[in-house]
Amino acid sequence: NAGVTQTPKFRILKIGQSMTLQCTQDMNHNYMYWYRQDPGMGLKLIYYSVGAGITDKGEVPNGYNVSRSTTEDFPLRLELAAPSQTSVYFCASSSGTGGHEQYFGPGTRLTVT
Amino acid sequence: GQNIDQPTEMTATEGAIVQINCTYQTSGFNGLFWYQQHAGEAPTFLSYNVLDGLEEKGRFSSFLSRSKGYSYLLLKELQMKDSASYLCAVRRNAGGTSYGKLTFGQGTILTVHP
């Protein structure tokens, strides 16, 4: 099992550009999440999904969009990148049973200049 | 809303015991999680408490008091590799599609010295 994988690992964007951060999990988890982590801070939830075709906003959704067409994939789209979106982005997934702990991908470090 | 507080930084000596506290205020509490995050890496799950009391897992234990809105993570026999950020996260039972969402504290950076 690869677990949760994210691409790319690093990216530099110019202001106004767009990009998609990819996230895939092979654990057949229904729940998937996107977080951002600014230096010295905890994680802030951007969007989450409870299954294919169902997504909802988290704490900081402005400037982002998501889709969930399959159980495995949960891409995060940045439109019109701004310097405030410079951060490390983590994707996570969890099953719907037990303690419901979340498993995280390795992260994407994004810089917008 | 939710408010989660934990100390920003702590230091300890190799072989010692350290306790990292977390206090929270929330309605509809439905579980508290501890994650470990080494610098430049993803968080990894350490422990989960939903009922009052102590959960022990090897060198790590986690305690919860729901009435006090308080948890701690206890690390025994500290090793250099335990130097990391420790994140406290609270799950709120909002029902429906909100099940499973976590709110994270800012993390406690633990430095273990020889």
B68 min Cα distance to partner chain A (Å): 22
- In tens digits, chain B (114 residues) has pLDDT values of 568 999 999 999 999 999 999 999 988 888 999 999 999 999 999 999 999 999 999 999 999 999 999 999 999 999 999 999 999 999 887 665 556 688 999 999 999 999
Interatomic CA distance for residues B5 and B108, integer angstroms: 10
Check if the beta carbon of residue A70 is closer than 8 Å to that of residue B22.
no
- The closest CB to that of B45, out of A42, A54, A101, belongs to A101
pLDDT digits (tens, 9 = 90+) for B98-113: 566 889 999 999 999 9
Residue A83 preceded by cis peptide, ω within 30: no
Top residue of A43, A56, A90, A91 to mutate, by most chain B CBs within 10 Å, is A43
Strands A4-7 and B44-49: unpaired
Per run of 10 residues, the mean pLDDT along chain A (length 113 residues) is 92 97 95 93 92 92 96 96 97 79 95 97
Q: Which residue has the tokens 């008091």?
A: B65
Are B97 and A102 inside 8 Å of each other by CB? no
Nearest 5°: the CA angle B40, B45, B50 is 145
| DSSP 3-state percent helix, strand, coil across chain A (nearest 5) | 5, 50, 45
Interatomic CA distance for residues B22 and B4, integer angstroms: 7
Tell how far CA A39 is from the center of its chain.
17
Give A-chain residues touching B104 at CB under 8 angstroms.
Answer: 42-44
A98: nearest Cα among B45, B87, B28, B104:
B45
Are B103 and A45 inside 8 Å of each other by CB? yes
Q: Does B51 touch chain A (CB under 8 A)?
A: no
Check if the beta carbon of residue A65 is closer than 8 Å to that of residue A79.
yes
Please, which residues bridge with residue A88 across strands? A37, A109
- The closest CB to that of A99, out of B43, B48, B104, belongs to B48
Strands A108-112 and A10-13: parallel
What are the structure tokens assigned to B11, written together? 């230091």
Tell how far CA A70 is from the center of its chain.
15
Check if the beta carbon of residue B38 is closer than 8 Å to that of residue B84.
yes
Q: Which residue has the tokens 């992260």?
A: A107
